[in-house]
Structure 1
Amino acid sequence: MKNILVFLLMTLALDAHAETGGWVTRDGKPVPNSDAMKSINGFGGWLVVTPDQDWEEKWNTSPETIPNFAEAKDVSYGEKLTILAFYINPKTNASGELGVICDIKVTRPDGSSSANAKGVKCAAGKLQGNPRNIRLTSAVIKYIGEKGDPPGEWIVEVTLTDKVRGTAIPLKTHFNLRSSHINSDAARSGVSVM
């Protein structure tokens, strides 16, 4: 049975609160920061782990369509995951250009590093549309549970830095690699993006 979670983003407005510029509800109330979703100094970031192999097709739709991604917390060997980092309200320079870089770290359950990249160019160029629209970074992380990978909790950390604003947002999430088969549908919940 697939557990569907009515996620907070269903109630998020594309317009951000004038003071914070970060994640807010439709009635303008700031969304409390969590490890995976934060707003700092008007800049917002959100980290999602999804098993959806069609995530790109879901994302590349008209602005009127609200994509719905399954969210994975428990996965088995052989399953593929995609880790997506979203952002809102980047500041632009005098030429209207934005610059967002990412530091990406994935840590295995034994404490060893699976990935560790700093200063990855995640978004650049002329900002098109409302700055408060939710945007996907170019830093898309793919994962597959392979034989030899240690079972347990894998930690994903992505720091989004708005270079123009001078603000960094540390985001963190995790997933559990199970050594035995689990009911994958029961380990996922749906998340929506507006």
Structure 2
Amino acid sequence: MILITADQDWQEKWNTPREHVPHFTETSDVGRDGTLFLLTFFGNPAVDEAGRSKLLCDFSLIKPDGSFATEQRDAVCFDPDFAMERDTTYITNITVGFKADSSEPKGSWRYKVVIKDKIAGTELPLEAGFKVK
């Protein structure tokens, strides 16, 4: 799942005890000089004998004209040193911050992520969008 938020304190909201469910303010647009954070979550990846997963991500942020603001392939987006727990939601270590300064074009932007589970040999494509006003 991709979540788009303007919450400057998203890390503090996420880094809480497991019993506490964080609540983020989702948004789909941003005005000039506003900031968004593009967060990618997942659950139940395949694990090795030690209970660890290995995920790589391709991600890109696409401008309204179709050109890439950023693009990266095979980024290590989750490679924990702890055993995974079933039925738990995790956040990747790929977080894109976006600042809508005056040089950024107005219009619809797209954020694409492909989560690659290297143990299971599967891929999960995700996409979300927001509008710069």
| TM-score relative to the length of structure 1 | 0.66
In structure 1, the partner of 2:86 is 131
CA separation in 1, counterparts of 2:48 and 2:84?
15
Please say which structure displays the higher CA radius of gyration. Answer: 1
CA contact (8 A) 1:98 1:127 kept: no
What amino acid does structure 1 have at the position aligned with 2:115? L
Structure 1 residue 108 and structure 2 residue 63: aligned? yes
Contact 1:98 1:126 in 2 (8 A): no
- Quote the offset at 1:74 in angstroms: 1.4
Q: What does residue 52 of structure 2 align with?
A: 97
Question: Equivalent residue for 1:182?
Answer: none
**Is structure 2 residue 75 aligned with structure 1 residue 120?**
yes
Q: CA-to-partner distance for each residue in 1:81-134, whole Å, 9 max, x for gaps? A: 111000100111233321001101110001111011000001113443523200
2:17 aligns to what? 62
1:74 aligned onto 2:33: no
1:177 and 2:125 matched: no
Q: Structure 2: how far apart are the matches of 1:68 and 1:81?
A: 16
Identity %: 31
Counterpart selection for 1:156 from 83, 105, 111: 111
Distance 1:68 1:77 in 2: 25
User: More strand by proportion, 1 or 2?
Assistant: 2
Paired residue for 2:121, among 155, 162, 166? 166
User: Cα deviations across residues 118-174 of structure 1 (Å, max 9, x unaligned)?
Assistant: 000011134435232000100011100011211000000011111100110000000
TM-score by length of 2: 0.95
In the TM superposition, residue 77 of structure 1 has moved relative to its aligned partner by 1.1
Match of residue 40 from structure 2: 85
Partner-residue secondary structure (3-state), 2:36: strand
CA contact (8 A) 2:59 2:112 kept: yes
Aligned to 1:141: 96
- Equivalence for 1:187: none
